Amino acid sequence: MLQSFTFDSAIPRVVFGVVGLDVLAAETASLGVCAPLLVTTRRGAAKWTSFPDSSPFAIAGLYDGAEVHTPVNVTEDALRYARSVRADGFVSFGGGSSIGLGKALSLRTGLPHLAIPTTYSGSEMTSILGETSQGKKQTHRNRAILPATVLYDVSNTRDLPTPVSVMSGLNAIAHAVEAMYAQNGSPLISDIAERAISAM
C-alpha cells in the first residue's frame, strides 16, 4: 500500500571540512555579526582558549556556564552578560548543552546563532529547545530556534573522552531510531535515519 506523507524540512546552512577561524570569521560576517558572544562549557572554554590568539575572528565575550537541559536561570544570566558586552549574535561551541544555550539566547533576542558541534548529539540540526525551570522541563518547537549556520569539523570530536564519545554516539543513534518511528515520519526521514545509524 502506498504511504502518504508530508515532508517539510528546514535546515541551517552547513559548512563541513577543516573549519579554521578564518572560515568562522567569514561565516559570522555573512550573517551580519561583528561581535558574537561565544557560549560554551568550562571544558569548551579551555579548548577555545588553546586556539591561536592571532586569529582573524574576534568575540565580544565568552560565557562558559552552559549546563545540561538548558536551565532558564542560566539563559537569563547569559542574556544579561550578552547585553553587557553588546553582542550582536551567538556562536555556540560544544555539545547539546552549549548549542541549547545558543538556541535559547537566539530565540529570546532574534539575533543570529552559529553552532560549532563537538559531539554527535545532532541538536544543532533541530528546531527543538528543551528548557528546565524549578525542576520541570518544557519543550519548544519553533523554526526560529534552528541555528542559521552549522560548522562541522571532525577534529573537534577527536579529543572527546572515550565515555563521552560513546554516550554521545548512543544518543545520536537514539535520535535516529526515534525519527524512524515518529508519528509524522516519512520514507525520506527513515532513509536518512538508517544511513545515520549505519555511519555510527
Residue 6 lies in a domain: no
Q: Look at residue 5 and tell me if it is in a domain.
A: no
Residue 23: give its domain's CATH number.
Answer: 3.40.50.1970
In a domain, residue 153? The reply is: yes
pTM value? 0.90
With b for 16 or more beta-carbon neighbours within 10 A and e for fewer, the 36-72 pattern comes to bbbbbbebbbebbeeeeeeeebebbbbbbbbeeebbe
To the nearest whole number, what is the mean pLDDT of the chain?
91
Instruction: Look at residue 42 and tell me whether its pLDDT is greater than 90.
Output: yes
What are the pLDDT digits (tens) for 118-154? 999 888 999 999 999 998 999 999 999 999 999 999 8
Instruction: Say if 42 falls within a structural domain.
Output: yes
Q: Tell me, yes or no, whether 149 and 188 share the same domain.
A: no
Q: Please compute the mean of the pLDDT values over residues 101-112 and round it to a whole number.
A: 98
Domain that holds residue 180: 161-200
Residues 185 and 155 in one domain: no
Predicted local confidence at residue 54, as pLDDT: 55
Tell me: do 129 and 42 sit in the same domain. yes
Please give the tally of structural domains in the chain.
2
Over the stretch 48-71, which tens digit does the pLDDT of each residue have?
A: 887 766 577 889 999 999 999 999
Q: Is the domain of 63 the same as that of 76?
A: yes
In terms of domains, do 35 and 118 share one? yes
C-alpha span between 157 and 119 (Å, rounded): 6
pLDDT of res. 162: 84
